[in-house]
Chain A
Amino acid sequence: MEDRPCALLLKFPGTNCDAETSRALEAVGFVTEVLPVSALKPEKLVGVSLVVLSGGFSYGDYVMSGRIASLVTEQKIGATLKDFRDNGGYILGICNGFQILTQLDLLPAGSLVENASGRFQCQWVKMKNLAPKSPFLSRCPDEFELPIAHAEGRLVTKDAAEAGGYVKSGAAALVYTDDVNGSFERIAGLTDESGRVFGLMPHPERFMKARDHYDPDWNGGAEGRGSGYWLFQSLFEAIKEGEVSSE
Chain B
Amino acid sequence: MSKNKAKVVSRKEMTKAQWTLHQMNVNKIGYFMIAPFMILFFLFTIIPVALSLVLSLTNFNMIEFPDFVFMQNYATLFLDDELFITALKNTMIFAAVVGPASYIISFVVAWFINELNPKIRALVTLVFYAPSLSGNVYIVWTTLFSGDSYGWLNGWGLKLGLIDTPIQWLTTKEFIMPIVIMVALWGSLGMGFLSFIAGLQGIDRSLYEAGAIDGITNRWQEVWYITLPSMKPQLMFGAVMSITGAFGFGSIVTTLCGNPPTDYVGYTVTHHIEEYGGTRWEVGYSSALSFLMFLIMVGANMLVNKLLSKVGR
Q: Do A and B bind each other?
A: no
List the interface of chain A (C-beta within 8 A of B): none
